[in-house]
Amino acid sequence: MSHKILVAQGGGPTAVINQSLVGVALEARRHAEISSVYGALHGVRGIVDDNLVDLGQETVANLEAVAATPAAALGSTRDKPDRKYCQEIFKVLKAHDVDTFFYIGGNDSSDTLRIVADEAKKAGRPLRAVHIPKTIDNDLMGFDHVPGYPSAARFVAQAFMGANLDNLALKGVYCAVVMGRHAGFLTAAAAMARQYPGDGPHLIYLPERVFVVDKFLAEVKAAFERHGRCIVAASEGIHDEKGEAIITKLMGRTEKDAHGNVQLSGTGALADLLCEEVKNKLGIKRVRGDTFGYLQRSFAGCVSDVDQREAREVGEKAVQYAMNGQVGSVAIRRVGDYAVDYPLVALETVAGKTRVMEDAFIAEGGADVTRAFGDYLRPLLGSDLPAIAHLRGASVEKAGVLIGDST
Amino acid sequence: MSHKILVAQGGGPTAVINQSLVGVALEARRHAEISSVYGALHGVRGIVDDNLVDLGQETVANLEAVAATPAAALGSTRDKPDRKYCQEIFKVLKAHDVDTFFYIGGNDSSDTLRIVADEAKKAGRPLRAVHIPKTIDNDLMGFDHVPGYPSAARFVAQAFMGANLDNLALKGVYCAVVMGRHAGFLTAAAAMARQYPGDGPHLIYLPERVFVVDKFLAEVKAAFERHGRCIVAASEGIHDEKGEAIITKLMGRTEKDAHGNVQLSGTGALADLLCEEVKNKLGIKRVRGDTFGYLQRSFAGCVSDVDQREAREVGEKAVQYAMNGQVGSVAIRRVGDYAVDYPLVALETVAGKTRVMEDAFIAEGGADVTRAFGDYLRPLLGSDLPAIAHLRGASVEKAGVLIGDST
């Protein structure tokens, strides 16, 4: 039997999502039973708009170059299809005789696949729907980790390595805000920047724990007193005990105007607001903030080779499973220290669910991660991480000059 | 005659400032006439506080590891010494019998050296004062370029490569704010991200040109209509025709309250405000902003090997010049395409002056750079820049399904 397959990419781009795409395209070439390999432009939107490209016409050299390129080469979409939208997806797939659909994305994409497969079943035209996971948030249920996360985590670790050194050179408080609204995995990666005693980040705030502004200020004060400086990693999703975002809370405190509230809830605001709190309440002079923003998911030239390999493999395995008549989500399971395999799990395991950080990964007190988290993340970061070094700095005996002495 | 030498680092850290430090320390070991190599902790502040370390006790292996580490291993300072401060510097140097002083820094550091040398001369104890240049702003007079700039430029180029791809996948307007208050060299580096036709940045705004908000909006609109998206690189120093910073201007427009003005002039505000303008005035839905912040000068693992080598060489040459009795600032002159040499220029050439981008580097219309700028910057970025690739994307003939058709 001959098969036409279609692949699409959805949700936020990652550094390795194209590895999975190319994994599908190249693995398909090994299967004589696959007659066409289509790509949909801009995810499910490209399917309903019938904007497809023929991946069979791509050269191997260009596919390999695309695999090494960050973001989503087919284009992506934020569309979250409802049942009607899924019916339209199915209609286009049917019109093109596509019987196998690979969707590279997060838990929403997995849900879309579930519904489209359901529609196909009802229409008596079974569809092989395989979900290929990706997300920098690492928040898919049933996975040890998700492709895309290790590279973003590496970016965050390298950013904090540099920030720690910069802050050692010019001491003060530094707060950086990291992506991840519900799951703290990416923010937690900041911990991997530590190498020497006293290295930052000294405090890590995750959305899995309630953020109390006064506790934060007390912890910054203590770290500053101890180290003469303080580096903070904060998730964009930090919130109070009622679930209210800290960004909204602090904005309200400095700016009574609701209009300002709306106007300024832009990307850089949380870091600035945390810095203002530290400046105003602790009287520390040099306080700086950064928001890593889109760099952490798209920066060209910061990638984990482990992540690249695994993202490629989930794409290859997806085709193998589908050609074997199996459907579901291609998960990553850790075996040994460190190796992985790729079991297929039911779409329902992943669809619409969000994994957050396990308690075992979060330190007591809630402002740091545990050694277990370090053990979990370290092998994912890949090879050739930058190494840093400090001078040993043997003191020279003071000459005993009295400053102000005119001799 | 035996010499005691002292080296210090001042101003904002860079990715290669430690190369220069290690260049001094290792070159000094070749000179039998140098009896001691001291480092001052936190720049001139460490001199007046008499906080010195003995670099003669460092191992070669650790020095080489420090050279590859970003930021300032001796620590830095923002102190800008006046004449009294310089007198105190001289006093400590004298007490330690230091007769040669290397200061790695920008134009302020060069001015400090000038005054300290002056004091020494008046006291009848000549000081060999050599300025070793560094700045990510590339704004020193008398230089082809300045160590530290090429690595920061590489970061900006890689960031825009990724941002361009991310924005191709999920289309919209993206504005990123780059460091450089008076000189646009670093912002201009965004242009190096372009590879394919239509690649961003589509608009580049430099502090060398007046920024007119309405012109900006019209240019974003035109680019968006042409490409279906628009990537903007803006210098943090963009200002109106009276020199008023655009951040203050836009802040005033959304927030009448002067208090809010002060409160929110944090690092992320300009990008957010530019995005708000685009959203509100052009009605474009997906508008995102980033502020590269400290990452662009300290990110661990993004460095130009050309920059590393040159930063090392200016340190080595500084010691050679000093031991030959010559003082001044070690400049970089471009010879051929591409090679450099390191002439010594007078401290007065550099001290207290600021270079900005030449008109020949700025495109007509003021919202882009010229090919001449690309020719200038390209060899500085170093080897193994990430390459990107797009799918060629041969279209599949539409199946002619009518969406909404119930068949």
Model confidence over A263-297: pLDDT tens digits?
333 468 899 899 999 999 999 999 999 999 999 99
Residue A250's pLDDT band, with cuts at 50, 70 and 90, is confident
Helices (H), strands (E): how many in chain B? 15, 13
| CB distance B165 to B388 below 8 Å | yes
The per-residue pLDDT for B107 is: 86
pLDDT band at A68 (very low <50, low <70, confident <90, very high): very high
> Residue B403 pLDDT more than 80?
no
Cα separations in angstroms, A250 against A238, A282, A339, B38, B267: 12, 16, 44, 47, 16
Q: pLDDT at position B255, please?
A: 45
Task: Evaluate if residue A377 carries a pLDDT over 70.
Answer: yes
> Would you say residue A404 has pLDDT above 80?
no
In whole angstroms, what is the distance from residue A141 CA to residue A47 CA? Answer: 27
Confidence band of B265 (pLDDT split at 50, 70, 90):
very low
B310-325 burial: b if 16+ Cβ within 10 Å, else e: bbbbbbbbbbbbbbee
CA–CA distance, A204 with A373 (Å, rounded to integer): 13
% of chain A with per-residue pLDDT over 70: 95
Which chain A residue has the Cα nearest residue B89?
A: A403
Query: pLDDT tens digits, residue range B105-126?
Result: 998 899 899 999 988 999 898 8
Is pLDDT of A260 > 50? no
Query: A252: pLDDT confidence band, cut at 50, 70 and 90?
Result: low
Does residue B315 have a pLDDT over 70? yes
Q: How does the average pLDDT of chain A come out, rounded?
A: 93
Q: Looking at residues A222-229, what average pLDDT do you find?
A: 98
pLDDT at B264 over 70: no
Task: Mean pLDDT check: name the lowest of A36-45, A203-212, A396-405.
Answer: A396-405
Q: Tell whether B41 is within 8 A of chain A (Cβ).
A: yes
Question: Is the confidence at residue A262, as pLDDT, over 90?
Answer: no
**Res. B267 pLDDT band, cuts 50 70 90:** low
When CB atoms are compared, the residue of A54, A266, A294 closest to B166 is: A294
Alpha-carbon distance B392 to B407, whole Å? Answer: 33
**Spatial distance between the Cα atoms of A354 and A352, rounded to a whole number of angstroms:** 7
Question: Does A272 or B367 have the greater pLDDT score?
Answer: B367
**CB-based contact A366:A206 (threshold 8 Å):** yes
Which pLDDT belongs to residue B248? 84
Is residue A401 pLDDT above 80, yes or no?
Answer: no
Q: Which residues in chain A are closer than 8 Å to B39, comparing Cβ atoms?
A: 391, 393
- How many Å apart are CA A183 and CA A17, to the nearest integer? 20
Residues B187-199: pLDDT tens digits?
999 999 999 999 9
Rg (CA), chain B: 24
Neighbours of B2 (CB within 10 A): 10
Chain A interface, best mutation among B16, B168, B294, B390, by max A CB count within 10 A:
B294
Which whole number is the average pLDDT over B294-299?
94
Query: Which residue is it, tokens 């700095």?
Result: A393
pLDDT at site A1:
79
Other residues' Cβ atoms within 10 Å of the Cβ of residue B264: 27
What residues of chain B, 175 to 234, have a C-beta less than 8 Å from chain A? Answer: 193
Closest CA to A328 of A147, A183, A150, A143: A143
Tens of pLDDT, residue by residue over B380-399, are 999 999 989 999 999 999 99
pLDDT for the residue numbered B250: 84
Partners of B68 on chain A (C-beta within 8 Å) are 386-387, 389
Are A272 and B264 an interchain contact pair (Cβ–Cβ within 8 Å)? yes
* B273-280 average pLDDT score: 93
Task: Mean pLDDT check: name the lowest of A216-220, B215-219, B265-269, B333-337.
Answer: B265-269
State yes or no: pLDDT of B207 exceeds 90. Answer: yes
Name the E strands within A240-384. Answer: 287-291, 328-330, 333-335, 339-341, 344-345
Residues 8-37 of B with CB under 8 A from A: 9, 12-13
Residue pair A300/B162 in contact by the 8 Å Cβ criterion: yes
User: Cα A145 to chain center, whole Å?
Assistant: 10
Q: Which of A99, A111, A137, A139 is catalytic?
A: A137
Alpha-helix residue ranges (DSSP H) falling in B255-400: 258-263, 269-282, 295-298, 305-323, 347-350, 371-377
Residue A398 has pLDDT above 50, yes or no: yes
**Nearest chain A residue to B9, by CA:** A169
B375 has catalytic annotation:
no
pLDDT at position A331 is 97
B254 pLDDT exceeds 60?
Answer: no
Q: Which of A123-127, B221-225, B271-275 has the highest mean pLDDT?
A: B221-225
The answer to whether residue A205 scores a pLDDT higher than 90 is: yes
Nearest-neighbour CA in chain A from B74: distance (Å):
7
- Kindly report the backbone phi and psi dihedral angles of residue A300, in degrees, each rounded to the nearest multiple of 5, phi listed first: -80, 125
Give bridge partners of residue B245 from the DSSP assignment. B239
A237 vs A250, residue with greater confidence: A237
Probe site for chain A from B264, B288, B292 (most A CB atoms < 10 A): B264
Instruction: Give the nearest partner residue to B266 out of A73, A289, A387, using CB atoms.
Output: A289
Please name the residue of chain A whose CA is at the shortest distance from the CA of residue B393. A53
Query: CB A298 to CB B65 under 8 A?
Result: no
| pLDDT value of residue B262 | 34
Average pLDDT of span A98-122? 92
**A104 touching B, CB under 8 A?**
no
Is residue A298 within 8 Å of residue A233, measured between CB atoms?
A: no
Q: What is the mean pLDDT of residues B65-76?
A: 97
Position A407 scores a pLDDT of 44
**Paired sense of beta strands A333-335 and A339-341, if any:** antiparallel
pLDDT above 80 for B148: yes
Catalytic residue among B137, B139, B272, B307: B137
Of B157, B217, B223, B211, nearest to B185 by C-alpha is B157
Residue B253 predicted with pLDDT over 80: no
Contact flag B300-A386 (C-beta cutoff 8 Å): yes
- Label residue A187 by pLDDT band (50, 70, 90): very high
Tokens of B376: 């200038």
Q: Is B75 on the interface with A (CB under 8 A)?
A: yes
**What does the pLDDT read at residue B407?**
44
Whether a cis peptide bond, with omega within 30° of 0, leads into A133 is no
CA-to-CA dists, residue B2 to A330, B94, B345, angstroms: 70, 14, 25
